[in-house]
Structure 1
Amino acid sequence: MTSAPEMTADKPQMKISEWKKIVAPFQVPSVPRAVWQLVNTFVPMVLLWWAMYESLAVSYWLTLALAAVTGLLVVRVFIFFHDCGHGSFFKSNRANSIVGFICGMVTFTPYAHWSWQHAVHHQTSGDLSRRGDGDIWTMTVKEYQEASPTRRMFYRIIRNPFTLFIVGPLVLFLLYQRIPSPRAKAKDRASVMYMNVAVVLMVVAMSWLFGFKNYVMMQLPVTMFAGMAGIWMFYVQHQYEDVYWEHGKEWDYTTAALEGSSFYKLPKILQWFTGNIGYHHVHHLSSRVPNYYLERCHNSHPMFHSVKPLTILESLKCINLRLWDESDRRLISFKEYRQRYAQKTPVAAAAAEEVDPADLPAPSEAGPGLS
């Protein structure tokens, strides 16, 4: 069983006014800590880029190995970018915006636009009535049963691990993040254009420094490795068996944070590379706690200790989870769906049915985001 957050059944959920007092001491940004994180991440990243360039003359396998480590550093940079978007990395909004934009260039992600989408994710995570922005497309069993063969096929393609973790990284960061959402405000849409220009200038500068072919041979695997790791982290944060989902009025913010966000227990080295974001239950409870205080906040109160950790081994089982079963209140695999529900569903003549464009999901349904 891939259960993660599991609160004690006999203890009532803490009120917002109560937990706000608990997290308040950890919501004060530390400039020295933030600056040190930037230094201990960007300095080795620059050195690794130079090492990758030199390794091209030795062995491309060595280049790929170095790209994997560089990709992990990019994940760490994304956490800084993410904290800046929440206004938690620095005290100054201006500093957050400047550093956030620079980190956005490194991660190929528009700062203001992504921050808006991610804020929506925090406001709606675990709410079945408000899915579609900044999350991974998740259908309920009932929705899947009622879907047309075309929509089912598209859903299966999107939820396939090959699509999510192999195709997804390059599509998400090189293409999807280049296009603004029609629902975004004008300033957020403009931020996509600004970032696109900045990315082009960065590519030109890096191509001038290393040569275009050499740059592409380094940048693509770095983006691939970073994207795979980042999407995986986002996936296991909200896609485990006993995750929390509720409809509209039944949805509760505190419960969604503590039961709908995993406590991903990682080895210290991976915890460092991922900027402590494995303490995702703490982050969703209060996004104003910067990454460098998440572990301290978790250790500070018994409220967080009742959240069951998700181990790496347990998280691997999450790969097969596809549908939210409202009757059992858990995510299930397609295999389990077939065993439990397939015979109750009328057989559809998928091969004979024409593809109706109306059956295809909106881009926001298919596009995964990072937390």
Structure 2
Amino acid sequence: MAPPHVVDDQVRQRIVVQDEIKQKQTYERGYVPMDFTIKEIRDSIPAHLFIRDTTKSIMHVVKDLVTIAAVFYCATFIDTLPSLALRIPAWIAYWIIQGTVMVGPWILAHECGHGAFSDSKTINTIFGWVLHSALLVPYQAWAMSHSKHHKGTGSMTRDVVFIPATRAYVGLPPLEKAAQDEASEQEHHHHHESIFAETPLYTLGSLFFVLTFGWPLYLFVNFSGHEAPHWVNHFQTIAPLFEPHQAKNIFYSNCGIVLMGSILTYLSMIFSPLTVFMYYGIPYLGVNAWIVCITYLQHTDPEVPHFRDNVWNFQRGAACTVDRSFGTIVNHLHHHIGDSHQCHHMFSQMPFYNAVEATKHLKAKLGKYYIFDDTPIAKALYRNWRQCKFVEDEGDVVFFKH
């Protein structure tokens, strides 16, 4: 039998462990959810910033298309360069620049889907459908699923994309068992991932795969979205993404994809598939990589909490998105979708060209609940991919762990 003082120590230790577990099952890290109402937040932003100007929005489209055309025109001279040593880096430069520039129209089409481009629903639909179809995005279908994402951001059950895996889902033992296990420090090395999964090479390889194929996989098989009992995609009316009465919109989206596919096929017959791939295909993959990178970093970070239903509300979820600067040039080309994203989530119908100014007011109002991360983008992407693995199965407010 153990001496009395040893028993007492064991009891005290067990109580401490149970208290820690109980705390983690409520608000991890002592996080206190925000209590501002959405009206209080909106009232902190000048009213004129919510006014949409259709002409101004269209001028942004013109600017983007002119820039794309200018970059394309410059690329037509690449093959006239005298040596392969000059042509290869020139093509690489074109792919990077054009892929970055083409994100601009993608963002503008996304704004159309929110109704932030114009007061006119017809104008929003026309510009959004044309721009997104040109980039092989099913405009209406994605706008509808994206709307659900906005309505449930930060929720463990309501969101439809970027939903954290739970401890049980990744195959880890329950928190109580792990806390009482003398070898709990080694627990993260005993789930289904191999030791190889912890290596930098694996991290970089998996990141490359997701950046390259993550977007089309999301459209076709709901990659990174919520689990569903059957195959879910953006091209047919299957719940929970869509309802049967939305079939007409899905049809219009599919028509846009078919039309753009036909145009690319025709151009391939005229100029060769390789030419189309060089001028459009590779920059298109670059656009996809940018979109995955931007959206992943907006919603995935060690400092971002997620809420269960009893403490979640719209403004709490919207505030738990991350603003990041991608550099002055990229921020401009991407219409500041990266460094004013929290404002965009709070008020998705606010015109994008006012979001930067509105963010200053939002930051002043939210205080500690405004999240900005100045970690260099490549470093943040690598860090978050390694550290944001799962959240606890229980708890009202949970954070990513690894």
TM range (shorter): 0.7 to 0.9
Q: Among 319, 333, 336, which residue is 1:273 paired with?
A: 333
Aligned to 1:310: 373
SS of the residue aligned with 1:245? strand
Aligned to 1:319: 385
Q: 1:199 to 1:270 in 2, by over 3 A?
A: same
Aligned to 1:212: 273
User: How far did residue 152 of structure 1 move?
Assistant: 5.6
Gapped regions of structure 1 (runs ≥ 5): 1-7, 334-371
User: How far did residue 209 of structure 1 move?
Assistant: 6.1
Aligned to 1:332: 401
In structure 1, how many angstroms separate the alpha carbons of the residues matched to 2:267 and 2:254? 20
Structure 2 length normalisation: TM-score? 0.71
Aligned to 2:235: 179
The alignment's C-alpha RMSD in Å is 3.1
Structure 1 residue runs of 4+, over 6 Å off?
A: 8-11, 156-159, 173-178
Aligned to 1:25: 48
User: How far did residue 96 of structure 1 move?
Assistant: 0.8
Q: 1:48 to 1:181 in 2, by over 3 A?
A: farther
Q: Percent identity?
A: 17
- Once the two structures are overlaid, the 10-residue window that deviates more, 75-84 or 189-198, is 189-198
In structure 1, how many angstroms separate the alpha carbons of the residues matched to 2:238 and 2:80? 45
User: Partner amino acid for 1:118?
Assistant: H
- Once the two structures are overlaid, the 10-residue window that deviates more, 292-301 or 311-320, is 311-320
In structure 2, how many angstroms separate the alpha carbons of the residues matched to 1:38 and 1:112? 19
- Once the two structures are overlaid, the 10-residue window that deviates more, 210-219 or 111-120, is 210-219
Q: Could you give the per-residue CA deviations for residues 35-78 of structure 1, whole angstroms, max 9, x where no partner exists?
A: 22112110010122233233244424312211211111121111
**Number of residue pairs matched by the alignment:** 319
Q: Could you give the per-residue CA deviations for residues 158-204 of structure 1, whole angstroms, max 9, x where no partner exists?
A: 99323311332565579988733512221232133212222123314
Aligned to 1:136: 162
Q: Could you give the per-residue CA deviations for residues 294-337 of structure 1, whole angstroms, max 9, x where no partner exists?
A: 1011123511554141114262321213333336832123xxxx
Q: 1:213 to 1:175 in 2, by over 3 A?
A: farther
Aligned to 1:120: 148
In structure 2, how many angstroms separate the alpha carbons of the residues matched to 1:175 and 1:162? 19
Q: Among 292, 298, 302, which residue is 1:231 paired with?
A: 292
Q: 1:53 to 1:105 in 2, by over 3 A?
A: farther
- Contact in 2 for aligned 1:104/1:110 (Cα 8 Å): yes
* Higher RCO (Cα < 8 Å, 6 or more apart): 1
Q: Among 62, 71, 75, which residue is 1:48 paired with?
A: 71
In structure 1, how many angstroms separate the alpha carbons of the residues matched to 2:302 and 2:41? 26
Alignment of 1:1-371 (within 5 A): 13-23=35-45, 24-58=47-81, 59-131=87-159, 133=160, 135-145=161-171, 160-169=206-215, 171=217, 179-183=235-239, 184=242, 185-207=246-268, 210-258=271-319, 260-278=320-338, 279-301=340-362, 302-304=364-366, 306=368, 307-313=370-376, 315-316=380-381, 317-326=383-392, 329-333=398-402
Gapped regions of structure 2 (runs ≥ 5): 1-29, 82-86, 174-190, 223-232
User: How far did residue 219 of structure 1 move?
Assistant: 2.0
Q: 1:99 to 1:12 in 2, by over 3 A?
A: closer
Q: 1:204 to 1:175 in 2, by over 3 A?
A: farther
User: How far did residue 250 of structure 1 move?
Assistant: 1.7
User: How far did residue 34 of structure 1 move?
Assistant: 0.8
Structure 1 length normalisation: TM-score? 0.76
In structure 1, how many angstroms separate the alpha carbons of the residues matched to 2:335 and 2:236? 27
Q: 1:89 to 1:64 in 2, by over 3 A?
A: same
